[in-house]
A and B are shown apart, each in its own frame.
Chain A
Amino acid sequence: MSNFFNKSDLTRQDADKIVSETLNNCDDGELYLEESKSESILLDDNKIKSSNYSSDLGFGFRAISNEVVAYSYSNEISKDSLKNSSENLKSTLKSIKGTYNYEIPKSNKKFYEDINPIEQKTLDSKLEVLNKVNDFLRKKDGSVKQVTASFAGEQKSIEIIRSDGEALTDVRPLIRFNVSVMLEKNGRKETGVFGIGGRQSYDDYLKNDNWKNVCEEAFRIASVNLESKPAPAGEMKVVLGPGWPAILIHEAIGHGLEGDFNRKKTSAFHDLIGEKVASEGVTIVDDGTIDNRRGSLTIDDEGTPTERTVLIENGILKNFMQDRHNARLMNTRSTGSGRRENYRHIVLPRMRNTMMLSGNQTQDEMIKSVDKGIFAVSFGGGQVDITSGKFVFNCTEAYEINNGKIGSPIKGATLIGDGPSILKEVSMVGNDMMLDPGIGTCGKAGQGVPVGVAQPSILIDKMTVGGTKL
Chain B
Amino acid sequence: MVKDEEFLKSKASYCLDLAKKMGATDASVTVGHSISETVNFRNKSLEASDRSDGLALSIETYLGKKRSSISSSNLLDENIKTLIEKCFETTKITPEDEFNSLPDKNLLAKKISSLNLYDETRFENDKKIKYLNDLEESASSNNQIINTESSFTENKSNFILANSDGFCDGYKTSSFVASCVTVAKDENSMERDYEFSSKRHLSDIKQATDLGNKAAKQTIRKLSPKKIGSEKISIIFDKRISKGMLSAFASAISASAIARGTSFLKDKIDEQVFADSINVIDKPDIIKGMGSQNFDSEGVNSNTLQLIENGILKNYLVDTYNGKKLNLKSNGRSGGTTNLYFEKGNISYEDLMKKNSRSLYITETIGHGSNIVTGDYSVGATGFLVENGEFKYPVNEITIAGNFKDMFKNIILANDLEFEYSVNSPTMMIEGMTVAGK
Interface, chain A (partner B; CB < 8 A) = 7, 44-45, 47-58, 67-76, 81, 85, 88, 91-92, 123-124, 127, 145-146, 182, 184, 188-191, 231, 233-235, 264-266, 268, 344, 346, 380-388, 390-394, 411-418, 464-470
Contact = CB atoms under 8 A, between A and B. Distances in A.
B93 A467 contact: no
Contacts of B397: 390, 416-418, 464
A16 to B, nearest CB: 22
B123 to A, nearest CB: 15
B401 A233 contact: yes
B235 interface: no
A231 B90 CA distance: 47
B242 to A, nearest CB: 19
Contacts of B376: 411-412
Contacts of A387: 183, 190-192
Contact of A47 (B55, B97, B367): B97
Given A55-B79, A127-B93, 8 more contacts: A53-B86, A67-B47, A81-B53, A92-B49, A184-B261, A346-B48, A388-B190, A465-B436
Interface of B: 42, 45-55, 67-74, 76, 78-79, 83, 86-87, 90, 93-95, 97, 125, 146-147, 149, 183, 189-192, 225, 227, 230-232, 259-262, 364, 366-369, 371, 373-374, 376, 378-380, 382, 396-403, 434-438
A394 B369 contact: yes
B53 A466 contact: no
A234 B438 contact: yes
A76 to B, nearest CB: 7
A439 to B, nearest CB: 15
A68 B54 CA distance: 23
Nearest to B87: A53
Contacts of A47: 95, 97
Contact of A413 (B54, B190, B378): B378
A392 B378 CA distance: 10
Nearest to B232: A470
B192 A266 contact: yes
A468 B93 contact: no
B190 to A, nearest CB: 5
Contact of B72 (A50, A54, A388): A54
A182 B97 contact: no
A449 B79 CA distance: 27
Contact of A190 (B373, B378, B400): B373
B367 A381 contact: yes
14 contacts: A45-B260, A67-B47, A68-B49, A69-B49, A72-B51, A146-B260, A189-B262, A265-B147, A268-B190, A385-B382, A392-B367, A413-B399, A414-B367, A468-B402
A264 B190 CA distance: 13
Nearest to A232: B436
B367 A383 contact: yes
A88 B51 contact: yes
A83 B380 CA distance: 48
A233 B437 CA distance: 8
A227 to B, nearest CB: 14
Nearest to B40: A69
Given A392-B399, A416-B380, A466-B380, A75 B93 contact: no
Contacts of B146: 265
Main secondary structure of the interface of B (DSSP, over half): strand
B378 A466 contact: yes
Contacts of A416: 367, 380, 397-399, 436
Nearest to B99: A47
Contacts of B50: 70-72, 346
Residue of B79, B225, B232, B260 most packed against chain A (CB within 10 A):
B260
B105 to A, nearest CB: 23
A58 B367 CA distance: 33
B436 A123 contact: no
A55 B401 contact: no
Contacts of B374: 188-190, 411
Given A54-B70, A56-B73, A394 B83 contact: no
A47 B94 CA distance: 10
A175 to B, nearest CB: 18
Contact of A384 (B47, B72, B125, B366): B366
Nearest to A92: B49
Contacts of A346: 48, 50
A390 B49 contact: no
A55 B434 contact: no
Contacts of A145: 261
B71 A392 contact: no
Contact of B366 (A233, A265, A392, A467): A392
B373 A189 contact: yes
A470 B401 CA distance: 11
B260 A380 contact: no
Contact of A146 (B90, B261, B398): B261
A130 B43 CA distance: 52
Given A388-B396, A412-B371, A414-B369, A470 B259 contact: no
A362 to B, nearest CB: 29
Contact of B434 (A81, A92, A417, A468): A468
Nearest to A44: B260
Contact of A266 (B125, B147, B260): B147
Given A392-B399, A466-B378, A123 B90 contact: yes
Contacts of A415: 399
B434 A344 contact: no
Nearest to A77: B74
Contact of A182 (B373, B380, B396, B398): B373
A466 B365 CA distance: 13
Contacts of A385: 192, 364, 366, 382
A450 to B, nearest CB: 18
A123 B93 contact: yes
A423 B238 CA distance: 32
B437 A234 contact: yes
Contact of B231 (A51, A74, A92, A470): A470
A234 B367 CA distance: 17
B128 to A, nearest CB: 11
Contacts of A466: 369, 378-380, 398-401, 436
A51 B48 contact: no
What 9 A-B pairs have minimum CB-CB distances, sorted nearest first? A466-B399, A392-B380, A233-B436, A387-B192, A392-B367, A75-B73, A381-B368, A234-B230, A69-B48
A264 B328 CA distance: 53
A467 B398 contact: no
Given A53-B87, A55-B74, A464 B437 contact: yes
Nearest to B54: A75
A223 to B, nearest CB: 15
Contacts of B379: 392, 414, 466
Nearest to A49: B97
A381 B125 CA distance: 37
B225 to A, nearest CB: 8
Contacts of B400: 466
B87 A74 contact: no
Contacts of B76: 7
B377 to A, nearest CB: 9
Contacts of A81: 53
A48 B73 CA distance: 25
Contacts of B189: 388
A120 to B, nearest CB: 16
Contact of A344 (B54, B55, B260): B54
B97 A48 contact: yes
A388 B51 CA distance: 32
